């Protein structure tokens, strides 16, 4: 099987499964029925054509004229929900848009709203307890890595300020600021006395 039909088939199956899991998404797809959206993904230099009927069919090639053509990077897609940003994206060369702008917005809304619940999917195969255990097992190492990264940052800051003396620590900065304030006050008082002396003479 060629690579592109395999990829589009996997995306299509996953997307339709997610849509069927939520009545809201089913209604959003129903509003797009009969529409064709051609997406050119600049990051990958690939085309995805979304054909809406009772479900979503995804093709890599399409001979007809789409209702909407978009050429963009994946990161730009969620920004289309805000109509006020579309002109700005076009001017910044982040988006090429031909056809129905509102259709592009509805499509963007659908794609960005769909978030897979991995735990829910797994529970259908393995049961609730195993699915929850596996997902928590994945989350805990990720949290540990985040905590470890923060700890290493704190250690590096301590080494830089305390051991290597490459930067002042917080107390030294505060002390320096206090000294600057004292000098400023002293200069202001001296200036005031000089002005008074000048006025007397």
Question: Residues 131-179: pLDDT tens digits?
Answer: 456 556 545 555 655 666 677 677 766 666 666 666 566 666 677 777 7
Distance CA 85, CA 80 (A): 7
Mean pLDDT of the chain: 75
Specify whether the CB–CB gap between 169 and 161 falls below 8 A. yes
Give the confidence band of 3 by pLDDT, cuts at 50, 70, 90: very low
Residues paired with residue 95 on neighbouring β-strands, in sequence order: 72
Q: What DSSP string runs through 176-200?
A: HHHHHHHHHHHHHHHHHHHHHHHHH
Mean pLDDT of 61-77: 87
Question: Residues 89-119: pLDDT tens digits?
Answer: 888 888 888 988 888 888 888 877 776 555 4
pTM of the predicted model as reported, rounded to 2 decimal places: 0.55
Hey, how many other C-beta atoms are within 10 angstroms of the C-beta on 68?
Answer: 21
Over pLDDT 90: what percentage of the chain?
A: 7
Distance CA 70, CA 59 (A): 15
Structural domains in the chain plus CATH codes: 3-116 (3.30.1050.10), 119-200 (no CATH)
């Amino acid at each position: 099987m060629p690579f592109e039909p395999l990829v589009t088939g996997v995306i299509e199956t996953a997307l339709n499964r997610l849509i069927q899991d939520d009545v809201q998404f089913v209604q959003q797809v129903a509003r797009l029925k009969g529409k064709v959206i051609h997406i050119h993904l600049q990051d990958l230099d690939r085309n995805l054509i979304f054909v809406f009927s009772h479900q979503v069919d995804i093709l890599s090639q399409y001979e007809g004229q789409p209702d909407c053509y978009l050429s963009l990077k994946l990161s730009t897609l969620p920004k289309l929900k805000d109509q006020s940003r579309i002109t700005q994206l076009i001017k910044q060369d982040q988006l090429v848009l031909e056809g129905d702008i509102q259709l592009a917005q509805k499509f963007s809304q659908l794609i960005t709203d769909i978030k897979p619940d991995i735990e829910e999917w797994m529970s259908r195969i393995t049961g609730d307890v195993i699915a929850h255990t596996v997902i928590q097992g994945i989350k805990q190492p990720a949290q540990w890595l985040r905590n470890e990264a923060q700890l290493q940052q704190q250690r590096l800051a301590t080494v830089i300020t305390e051991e290597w003396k490459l930067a002042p620590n917080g107390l030294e900065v505060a002390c320096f600021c206090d000294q600057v304030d004292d000098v400023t006050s002293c200069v202001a008082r001296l200036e005031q006395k000089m002005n008074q002396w000048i006025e007397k003479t």
